[in-house]
Amino acid sequence: MTPDFIALCLLAFAGFLTIVNTGCSDYNKVMKSTDLDYKYERALGFLDSNKCFGALPLLTEVVSLSRGTERAVDAAYYRASAHECVGDFYLARYHFKTFAKTFPNDSRSEAAQFQAAICSYKLSPKASLDQSETEAAVNEFQLFMDRYPTTPYRDSCQQYVDELRHKLEVKSYESATLYHHTQQYKSAVIAFENALKDYPDTPYRDEIQWLIVDSYYQYANLSTERRKLERYNNTIEAFLTFVARFPDSQYMNEAQAVHQKCIKFIENLEATKTIE
């Protein structure tokens, strides 16, 4: 079973406990009531008590049956909060965004936009997985800060963005190293160079620059004879860039060894051409 499946099972079980703890007959009585005021108050009570599974169907009904009233506005905001509370971040994000778009003049519109971005943050998976949701979350926080430049949530937004970008940085580094480990050296060079371009301040930068050198070298070793000269020269160019940027790197000895091998290979190749 996947962690997501286990989490959903736990949420479902929590919903069952909500009804049990509330009392099945009591909850059924609330659900069957025709008194919308009573249902709304009980829903808020469930939400305040963190019994969000109990609150959600009541708030959904209140929103539907009180359209066009102030209560519908309040219930819509609380419904989004209830979805977030039960861990349904996709629907929570949707409802927070819908609330902010539908009621832009409401005092909670800014908070709703922020919570929508928070939901995207919570949907961001670990670095080894696809990072589409992470990129979406970064964009949402950036859009939020552009829309509300004086928001009191700005520091929090920046912290979330920094955390999300670090995850993207790790993903970029791990994807590139995977190419290297699986001997896809041409792809590794491209991926490593893109990682440095996208994240120039990454703490992996000297290792990445060394791995670019090694990837060029390994790629040259696997090349046909007519392409070796060009690719060993590419390795030397990468080595010179590495030395210029990281003269004190812990990988310098390994890089110098590769450099010397390339020089010898080039000398042998040129000598062979001369004889021919």
- Model confidence over 226-239: pLDDT tens digits? 899 999 999 999 99
- Return mean pLDDT, the chain: 90
What separation in angstroms does the CA of 202 have from each of 211, 261, 274? 14, 29, 45
Residue 60 pLDDT greater than 60, yes or no: yes
CA distance 255 to 207: 11
Average pLDDT over every residue of 175-190: 97
Burial of 25 from C-beta contacts in 10 A (0-12 / 13-18 / 19+): exposed
State the pLDDT confidence band at 6, using cuts at 50, 70 and 90: very low
Burial of 3 from C-beta contacts in 10 A (0-12 / 13-18 / 19+): exposed
pLDDT of residue 159: 98
pLDDT of residue 34: 86
- Of 90, 30, 79, nearest to 56 by C-alpha is 79
CB atoms inside a 10 Å sphere around CB 242: 25
pLDDT of residue 142: 97
Domain 183-276 class in CATH: mainly alpha
Residue 62, token pair as written in the block: 């209140």
Average pLDDT over every residue of 145-151: 96
Per residue in 117-126, pLDDT tens? 999 999 999 9
The runs of H, that is alpha helices, within the chain are 3-22, 24-32, 36-48, 52-65, 70-85, 89-102, 109-123, 132-147, 154-181, 185-198, 205-221, 225-245, 252-275
Per residue in 83-108, pLDDT tens? 999 999 999 999 999 999 999 999 99
pLDDT of residue 7: 42
Residue 1 pLDDT greater than 50, yes or no: no
Burial of 162 from C-beta contacts in 10 A (0-12 / 13-18 / 19+): exposed
Domain 104-177 CATH assignment equals 1.25.40: no
Lowest mean per-residue pLDDT among 18-27, 50-59, 84-93, 158-167: 18-27
Average pLDDT over every residue of 183-192: 97
With contact defined as beta carbons under 8 Å apart, do 205 and 196 qualify?
yes
Residue 12 pLDDT greater than 80, yes or no: no
With contact defined as beta carbons under 8 Å apart, do 103 and 94 qualify?
no
Residue 269, C-beta contacts closer than 8 angstroms, at least 6 positions apart? 225, 228, 229, 232
Residue 247 pLDDT greater than 60, yes or no: yes
pTM of the model: 0.80
State the pLDDT confidence band at 184, using cuts at 50, 70 and 90: very high
Residue 269 pLDDT greater than 90, yes or no: no
So where are the chain's domains? 1-86, 104-177, 183-276
